[in-house]
Every structure is written in C-alpha cells, then in structure tokens.
Chains A and B, each alone.
Chain A
C-alpha cells in the first residue's frame, strides 16, 4: 500500500492503494466517481476515458503510480452544470441507447474538439473510432460531435 495525492476535477484527494491500481478503480471504488466505466479493462473500448491534463486517457490501464501531479478530469467534472458543449450536443441529438459507453464517448469527443475545434467528418470518425458503442449509436455520436463543434 502506498499513499497517493490526486487532483480530480479540481479537488485534491488522498488515497491509500497498491501502486499498480488503475486510475479507473481508484475513481470508481475509492472516490465514488462511477461515471467512468469499466468494460474491457485492456484499453480497447474507451468506456473508461478520462482526461489527464486534457488528454484523452484510458483509465483502465493507467496505474495510479503514473498519474503524479496530472490534472484528472472525469465526466462528473467536465462541466459544473452538465452544460459543456459536448454534453449539450449529446442531449440535443439524443445520442444514448443504453448509455453505458456515453460518458467515455463524451470525454473522448471533448478532448478531441479542444485540440481540433473545426474537424472534418473524417477526423471525427478517426477520433471516435477509439470508443466502442455496443448499441450502435455511431451515427448519432458522429452527429453530436459535429453539432458540438459548432459551439466550442
């Protein structure tokens, strides 16, 4: 066991966990931030996507010991009132079916649009290809990212 100081959604937290514990499980089991989802555990599906210093990161394969002073942002902290342009676009386009992957999709899209606020459809497809949606809401995800881009 080791003690780690984390900065998550602008707040400092101290957790005592093994140093190989993935950030995903620190968020979910130790900080109660369950908006970041577990699905594959091997960086294949993107349900666990968070931002590390603004970069989209698969938290399921990110050991807590590697996080250091990085600013962690989760879906709960993407915006104070759930009104980030990507969240608004997701609501406007009514993207979700089951909804389980959508937090990760939103985090992927938000990081992507911050780096590329005027993407082509092809660039959207490439960025969002990292995240799986088993319900097949890809058309709506694509539409919502394009919609969000208008308001970034």
Chain B
C-alpha cells in the first residue's frame, strides 16, 4: 500500500480539481445515441450525476463519467487516463463513459499534448482523483450501514461489507458521498492489485470512429457559420499586390481580403474556396532572405567547417585525446526539413463576438489557443473558451496556434462564426517544419579500440539546440565535446514528433556503428562497454539511467537473436528520449541482389505499461513513422517555396512498405512514462546499420531512397 500525503491542502485541491463545482458538458456530439446496450444516454447520466472532482462524476444509476483533459491525437490518452482514474476508484469499466474536457486551467494542470509528458505528469493526480472519490463513497456506505469503513471493500463498482452481508453499487451512495468531507490522506492501491491498468482496453471512441461520427475539428458545423481558407506568403517574402477579381467571381465566395501577410477567402462551403485560392493572383517581394535547398546545403557546409559554435558540454581534453589517438573516425550526417502532415489538415472554428471569443477545434495546446485569441483581440483570456475536438493526428504541428490566429482574425473581420480549413497544399507549404540539421561526429580510438574521445557538432536551421548533450554516449567517454550552432533561417520550424532526437538518434547510432566496426568490435558489445563505463565510472553528469539502457540493449540482442543467423544482416540502435528507453534491431536479408528489410524487433522500457494495446500501437506507429520518413520523405525549397506540395511528391510510407514489427516491454517497476515519441528515434539507425551490414553502403543522409547508394540497388521491404 502506498499512502500519499497531501503536499498542501490547497495544492491538492487544485490538482484534483476538488474545488471546482458543477458539471461541464463536452461536445455537442457527446450526446449522440450510443449504440452500446445501455439504458441511459450520456446526457441523461450527466443530468443526475454528482461531481466528485475535475475528473469524475457518478450518477445514481452507477454510471461513471470520467473527463479526460488532454487532447487526444492518437496517443490513446482518452482511454489510458480514464483507466487510471477507474483503477483507483475500483470502477466497473463497462459502466465508464469518457468525455473530453474543455480547456479549464482552474481544474487541470498541463492540459496539452506534447513531449510524451501527460502520463508521467498526471499519473499520481489521476490515481488520487479515483482514490479520493472511492474514499468518500466508502465513507458514505459505512455511515449508511453503521459499520467501520476499514471493513468495507470495493470491487468492480460494488461496495460491500462482508460482516453484515450488505452491498450496493456506487450510484446508491453518490448523494451522501458527494457531501462527505474529502480525506486528509488517500491510500493508493498496490500495483499488484491493479485490475484495469495493464490490461488491453479498447479505444473509447472506437464506435464513433468506425461509424463516421463527427468527432474531429474539421467535422464541426454550426448553423450560420462561414467557411474560410487562406493563401500564405512564401518564406522570406511579403505580399506586393493582390489581384482577386477571378477569385471573387467564383460562385459561393462571399469575401476576399488581405490580413497580415495573407489573403483570406470566405464562403458558404469549402469547394468554392479551394477554387478561389487557385485563381488568386498574388505577387510577392523579398522581405528578408529567400532560401532554397542549395543555400541550406552550402550554409551547412560552411558552418560545420568554420561556424562559431556554442559549447554545450566539454569533458576532459579532446585536443589531447585526438592527438594521441591510434585511429580517428569522422562522418557527417544530414536530414531535410519535414512537414508534420497529420491526416486531418489544420482547421479551427472561431466565433468572435465583441469582447468574447469561442474556439472549437483540434489543438495540442488549448491554452495557447486561448492566449493567442486573447492577445489578438485585446481581451482577457477568461473571455475565450476552448472546446477540444479529437485531433486527426498532430505530430507537434498542432502545438502551434497559427491556424487559431487566422480563424480569429477572419471571424473578427467578417463578424461571423467561421471554420478555417487548410488544404493539404497549405499544410505542406505552411511552415513550422521539423528543422533540417547537419551533424559532424568525430571519435578517437586508442590501440585497444576504446573510444577515448568524442566530438559532436550540430548545425540546425532554427533548431535551437540540435544536440542532447547529456544523453548517451556522454558520461561514457573521458574526453568529449558537444557543440551547437543555430542558423536563423526564414523557413519556420516547430517541434516534430521526438524533436531533434528524431534525426540525432539516427545519426549518432549510425556513427557509433561506424566507430564500433573501426574498433573491430561487435556493435552491441561496443555499446555495452560504453554503458559499463558510464555505470561504473561515469564522466560528468548523466541525463539517462544506465541500468535501464543496458536492460533494453541486452534484451533486444537476445530477442532478435543478434548475430546468430549469418543469412540475416542486422542493425542495432538504442535511444533514450522522453523518459523512455527503446532498443531496436532491424533484420535485412539479401534476395536476388537486393536488400530486403523484413523485420524490426523493439524492446521498450517505459516503466509500467498502462494499456498494452495502446503501448503496442505507439511503439509500432513510432517505428513506422521513423522508418517512413527516414526512407522516403523529403521537403526541398526553391525560392522560399516547398517543392513537394501534396502526397504525389511528398511521399509517406504505405501498407506494402512496413515489415514485421515485434515488440517487447520490460517491466522495471517504474511508474509509467510517455510513449508517443520514444519509439521513433532509434528506427532510422537500426535500418541504416542493417543496410550497411548487408551491402557495405553507409547512409549518411535522409531520405535513404534518394541517396546515391540506392541508385543501382533497390531496397525492398517484405514481411517474412
């Protein structure tokens, strides 16, 4: 049993939302008739339910309503959060209904989706929310039955007292329980007693998704609303002139106007706007640097060679180490910009009325949406409401509020409710990309093949810090220098699933493979030697847990039969990001002269797995994502404009291009950490290293298929 002391009454009350009274209603479609065999609609349940805290209402019928505050974009938080609350409540999961909560900064902390941080942040407060409600329900039952609360047990939504033989469901006690004083302390369950956490629970929105119900932002409709689309300027350009006669003439277009550095088209439905955008004649002129990919390549070369860098970490003396080295290995790696490309393009509904603003749509950061609207309109943030729809993917793109800003401007200008929609072309050309980055790695080896020196210099285009200076192999090398240069590009960038590490991990793990082979060591042995050093005699501070990293490395080698089959060429990769550890092995077999990627084995330590189905999804999805973008996807620029403007040229991975993926999870006894990102970073490295093992060709740039190494060899992917 684990007893949690309150930090302070006030903090706890805020954290668990116990001070917030009353109910709030979710989406307008939350009341859609549920096809499940349930007597009451969610609306009926809510009408009589008692509110216990920010996460929980329980109806006299025994139905439990759990509010999930964080935006759901496919990471399955809308299922896993309620599982944690229901676990501590000892609820009957079949009686749980989940509603997406609106933005409410009084009730919830960190109501956002990013950094794979929701579960580690909320784990304890979700448990407390369930445990606190259970406590008062038990207290109410004890009072009603006149028995000691300690003798009462709760299971599957049923409260019972063995001695008297009395029992009843939650609903019978909600009236009294909701009036009980909240406890000074709540006792949380022992993990071994978990009945819901750790079991495969299905997506709570499954029915609605598979029957085409309006769940997503783009599905939102309100009587009388206008539709809008926006034409944006290329990077580094500003509007010189607009000729909008032809666009205005399109039937169904009601208005065309300039705002900021954009042109908005407004109408009664979407198709006329798509047509109007094509008919707009907008002339642009330079407003800063107008960049092309060739410029970026040159800038990378120059800055890697002689740019002034910021030292992020320095251990020992690299100069001496490299001077004394028996062997020096060096290599440079580069990745392109990438769009986030969620399947649901950016969109938002805004309705500005005087000093108030209503926002509805898909956002990873509802509070940023609110603050943005408040700032544009010059009104207090509390005058802005934000309803969070389900998100058709995000990958970091919806951390931004640029689309909210546009919707607010347009609604204010036309003085009407409006739904802004981006086209796929808008999404790919509209900016806020994964930054392009180039790295130079250097390693110094002594006679025995030990890495005595390590240097990393990162140059990023608006990447901020393109290194992770305290991550592996820092701590395992005596002499180490990590440097960063940030180039201020006119191309806008933003966090993209596993920011920085989505490419850094590939580059580093591929480089370490190069070093291991130069040192004459097996790549797994080489990494384990470094990890042993970091464990037994660490150099400086470590940003990672060495034992957990060793755990996934060893298990991945074992599960993948590392090095056991001479016909299977394998590549190894391991990375720590967002508090989780993932090791991956890619298997390639040569068939008819072609390397065929057949399998990836992944071993993950994300602490306790809340929902095995969701965890599997995130690991496999992260791998497919990492694989697809490493192999196929490119975004290049010509005069400030992306050349790939839709899926015909911006290539995403498809069904036939995914190999078998085998997943394993280590239960190391830690509390759960996030899993939306950590499985992606190691993938590119595992594949590249396997390609080298199979073909002797080292891939140092992405996307792989556009590299000269594949000009005469076709990389194939098949499930074995």
- Residue positions of A touching B, CB distance < 8 A: 1, 17-18, 20-22, 25, 28-30, 32-42, 44-45, 47, 74-76, 81-82, 87, 90-91, 94, 96-103, 106, 121, 125-126, 128-129, 131-142
Q: Are B269 and A41 in contact (CB under 8 A)?
A: no
Residues of B within 8 A of A34 (CB): 212, 214, 218-219, 221
Q: How far is the CA of A139 from the CA of B619 in the complex (A)?
A: 12
Separation in Å of the B156 CB from the closest CB of chain A?
22
- Contact in complex: A103, B212 (CB < 8 Å): yes
Across the interface, name the chain B residue whose C-beta is closest to A32.
B221
Docked Cα-Cα span, A96 to B617, in Å, equals: 9
Tell whether B648 is near chain A: CB-to-CB under 8 Å.
Answer: yes
Given that A21-B271, A28-B270 are known contacts, is A134 also in contact with B655, CB under 8 Å in the complex? no
Q: Bound complex: CA of A140 vs CA of B655, how far in Å? A: 10
Interface contact B212-A45, CB-CB below 8 Å: no
Q: Report yes or no: A96 in contact with B203, Cβ–Cβ below 8 A.
A: yes
A1 surroundings in chain B (CB, below 8 A): 251
Interface residues of B in 67-105 (CB under 8 A from A): 72-76
User: Could you write out 25 A-B pairs with CB less than 8 Å apart?
Assistant: A18-B251, A25-B269, A37-B344, A38-B218, A38-B421, A41-B646, A42-B648, A94-B206, A94-B613, A98-B343, A98-B392, A99-B203, A100-B393, A103-B210, A125-B655, A126-B656, A129-B656, A134-B343, A135-B625, A136-B658, A137-B617, A138-B624, A139-B620, A139-B658, A142-B655
How many Å from the CB of B349 to the closest CB on chain A?
A: 13
Q: Chain A contacts of B75 at CB under 8 A?
A: 97
Given the contacts A44-B648, A99-B392, A138-B655, A36 and B269 also touching, CB distance less than 8 Å = no
Contact of B271 among A18, A47, A74 (CB under 8 A): A18
Q: Give a binary string over B604-622; 1 marks a CB under 8 Å from any A CB, 0 the rest.
A: 0000000001000100111
Q: Is the CB of A35 within 8 A of B212?
A: yes
Contacts of A44 in B (CB 8 A): 646-648
Q: Tell me, yes or no, whether B714 is within 8 Å of chain A by CB.
A: no
- Quick one: which of B392, B622, B654 contacts A132, CB cutoff 8 A? B654
Which residues of B lie under 8 Å from residue A81 when comparing CB positions? 35
Chain B stretch 358-395: residues in CB contact (< 8 A) with chain A: 390-395
The distance in angstroms between the C-alpha atoms of A118 and B648, with both chains bound, is 31
Q: How far is the CA of A102 from the CA of B211 in the complex (A)?
A: 10
| Contact pattern, B 460-489, Cβ under 8 Å of A = 1, otherwise 0 | 000000000000000000000000000000
Give the CA-CA distance A39 to B211 in the complex, in Å: 18
CB < 8 Å neighbour of A39 from B390, B424, B655, B719: B424
B residues near A133, Cβ cutoff 8 Å: 343
Q: Are A30 and B392 in contact (CB under 8 A)?
A: no
B274 touches A (CB below 8 Å) = yes
Q: Please indicate the chain A residues that have their CB under 8 angstroms from the CB of B617 in the complex.
A: 97, 135, 137, 140
Consensus secondary structure, chain B interface? loop
Give the interface SS of chain A, mostly helix, strand, loop or mixed.
loop
Given A30-B269, A37-B343, A91-B210, 8 other A-B residues pairs in contact with their CB atoms under 8 A = A25-B270, A34-B214, A39-B345, A94-B203, A100-B343, A136-B622, A136-B628, A138-B654
A45 touching B211 by the CB < 8 A rule?
no
Is B284 part of the binding interface, using a Cβ–Cβ cutoff of 8 Å? no
Compute how far the CA of A97 lies from the CA of B653 in the bound complex, rounded to whole angstroms: 16
- Cβ-closest chain B residue relative to A26: B271
* Most chain B C-beta atoms within 10 Å of own C-beta, residue among A44, A91, A134, A142: A134
7 cross-chain pairs, A with B, having the tightest CB-CB distances, nearest first: A35-B212, A136-B624, A100-B392, A98-B74, A97-B74, A75-B212, A44-B647
**Interface contact A100-B216, CB-CB below 8 Å:** yes
Of all chain A residues, which has the CB nearest B625?
Answer: A136
- A35 pairs with B652, CB closer than 8 A: no
Q: Indicate if B209 sits at the interface (CB-CB under 8 A).
A: yes
How many angstroms between the C-alpha atoms of A31 and B270 in the bound complex? 13
Which residues of B lie under 8 Å from residue A102 when comparing CB positions? 209-210
A142–B660 Cα distance when bound, in Å, is 11
Contact A18 B252, beta carbon cutoff 8 Å: yes
Chain B residues with CB under 8 Å of A106's CB are: 210
The answer to whether B393 and A134 have CB atoms under 8 Å apart is: yes
What is the CB-to-nearest-CB distance from A7 to chain B, in angstroms, rounded to a whole number?
Answer: 18
Q: Is the CB of A97 within 8 A of B652?
A: no
Nearest-neighbour CB distance to chain A for B344, whole angstroms, equals 5
Give chain A nearest CB distance to B642 CB in angstroms: 15
- The reply to whether B623 and A136 contact each other, CB–CB distance below 8 Å, is yes
Q: Is B202 an interface residue (CB 8 A)?
A: yes
Judge whether A40 and B209 touch: CB under 8 Å.
Answer: no
Q: How far is the CB of A100 from chain B (nearest CB, A)?
A: 3
Q: Is the CB of B35 within 8 A of A82?
A: yes
A75 to B76, CA, bound (A): 22
Give the nearest-CB partner of A21 in chain B: B271
Minimum CB–CB distance from A98 to chain B (whole Å) comes to 3
Question: Which residues from B are CB-within-8-Å of A20?
Answer: 271, 275
Flag if A38 contacts B345 (CB, 8 Å). yes
| Contact assessment for B210 and A82 in the assembled complex, using a CB-CB cutoff below 8 Å | yes
Q: Does A98 lie within 8 Å of B391, measured CB to CB?
A: yes
Given contacts A36-B212, A126-B656, contact A98 B207 (CB under 8 A): no
- For A30, the chain B residues whose CB sits under 8 A away are 269
Quick check: is B215 within 8 A (CB to CB) of the other chain?
yes
Q: For A101, what are the chain B residues with a Cβ–Cβ distance below 8 Å?
A: 343, 392
Q: Does B171 contact A (CB under 8 A)?
A: no
Q: In the complex, are the beta carbons of B271 and A135 less than 8 A apart?
A: no
Verify if B521 is at the interface (C-beta below 8 Å from A).
no
Q: How far is the CA of A35 from the CA of B215 in the complex (A)?
A: 9
A80 nearest CB across to chain B (Å):
10
Q: Give Cα A97 to B648, complex, Å.
A: 24
Please pick, from A40, A94, A138, the residue contacting B424 in the complex, using a CB distance under 8 A: A40
Whether B205 pairs with A99 at a CB distance below 8 angstroms is yes
* C-alpha spacing A121/B718, complex, angstroms: 11
* Chain A hits for B203, CB < 8 A: 94, 96, 99
- Among B76, B343, B424, B625, the residue within 8 A (CB) of A41 is B424
CB closest residue in chain A, given B342: A134
Most A CB atoms within 10 A — which of B211, B623, B628, B652?
Answer: B211
Bound CA span A136–B251, Å: 39
B77 CB, nearest partner CB in chain A, Å? 11
Indicate if the CB atoms of B343 and A47 lie closer than 8 Å.
yes
- The one of A29, A91, A137 in contact with B269, judged by C-beta atoms closer than 8 angstroms, is A29
- A25-B269, A44-B648, A139-B620 in contact; A125/B656 too (CB < 8 A)? yes
Return chain B residues, CB-CB under 8 Å to A141.
655
A132/B647 contact (C-beta < 8 A), A34-B218, A35-B213, A94-B203 known:
yes
Q: Chain A nearest CB: distance from B607 CB in Å?
A: 21
